[in-house]
Structure 1
């Protein structure tokens, strides 16, 4: 949202004029906020199924905002990844609506990471930083700082094809952080990680959320679920008899 100056300089005005002018500016500010809502995702009456099959979920309403990690939980086949796709706008819901405000850049970290086999790990993180206008030295310095948060310093010079599954998944998370998204969607971020590394990843995701980013995480991991600010449990919104 564009910032509006709500503190105009007032010189030699009467108290009444000052109050009137300040009220006018404040009214303009509130009107601008109404016209341009804060960054958020708003879902109302959301439901989805494939073709004429059973409903994955229905009557699901929620709001996603920066500053929190929202966990999307439920048994296998309950539609966790599908809900991420609906939130991103990659698919249209069968019923209900999803609206996105103030979101220009979306990053999705898949459960099965995909990278460039013959490019180094640090290249993957440096690339989006170069795209933001940094020079090579600045980008590599920032990339190393991000990779350290994900325990990737020791593999920064390795090609992607040489990384383990857990390392590759953490690398894609690091790349997403470097992209500075408005909306970050993560599918099972700790599925291939040991408990200590998973806890660090959860803390890093919390830090991303505090940096004005909306974070939604699909997970089976009870520890990741506990680390979330709140949880959307799809098991509570499943009804195969809905018409």
Structure 2
């Protein structure tokens, strides 16, 4: 009986599967082809590959913003999607607490409960001391971690992160990489596009677009 309960719980978790996915911008030039991959909740998958290999394009396809040229995506339990972009985008005069409180308010929670949950998220991402700082006063690493904390708020099913350390120095990037595990504990499917080896090491597993199965056919 316990095993059946466990299997049922696993089936209810968000999941996303790529079946023979391929995409390109001309009939004879593909960014990638024949992608088969399974993304599950409570893990962080890093998508890697050289510049121009289609990392950001694949994120757009996974999000449903773009249709693949080949193959299809099977989605289960995914409705709410959150993006974290390369450059942190916040409201300069709003505090860190305001940024993370808003998604909870948006799903109907009270102000008091929303702020309680937001403070916990800020703590998870090492930002408790910066809760009352305005976004414009945050360091680069703090601002990026704030965007990750905001992405988790509101319990999304899918979190897409595009090159979270591309604009950061090594020391600042390390503070961002150190909290990627918190995304895995959010219960969402988490996919991170990056060429940063330290970021990829912080992920649970990786999908390399430079691998042979993801390359363009010569024909």
What band does the TM-score fall into relative to the shorter chain?
Answer: 0.7 to 0.9
Matched, 1:167 2:142: yes
The Cα offsets for residues 131-190 of structure 1, whole Å up to 9 and x where unpaired, read as 233322322232122123333334333333343433322211110111211111111223
Q: Distance in 1 between matches of 2:96 and 2:28?
A: 42
- The equivalent of 1:74 in structure 2 is 49
Matched, 1:226 2:201: yes
- The equivalent of 1:158 in structure 2 is 133
Q: For 1:176, which of 121, 134, 151 is the aligned residue?
A: 151
TM-score, normalised via structure 2 length: 0.84
| Secondary structure, aligned partner of 1:50 | strand
Q: Distance in 2 between matches of 1:219 and 1:210?
A: 20
- The equivalent of 1:123 in structure 2 is 98
Pick 1 or 2: higher relative contact order, CA cutoff 8 A, min separation 6.
2
CA contact (8 A) 1:149 1:200 kept: no
- The equivalent of 1:186 in structure 2 is 161
CA contact (8 A) 2:141 2:172 kept: no
Structure 2 unaligned blocks of 5 or more: none
Q: For 1:216, which of 185, 191, 197 is the aligned residue?
A: 191
- The equivalent of 1:102 in structure 2 is 77
The Cα offsets for residues 7-66 of structure 1, whole Å up to 9 and x where unpaired, read as 9xxxxxxxxxxxxxxxxxx8xx9xxx7xx7752111111111124572111111111111
Structure 1 unaligned blocks of 5 or more: 1-5, 8-25
Aligned length: 213
Greater gyration radius: 1
TM-score, normalised via structure 1 length: 0.76
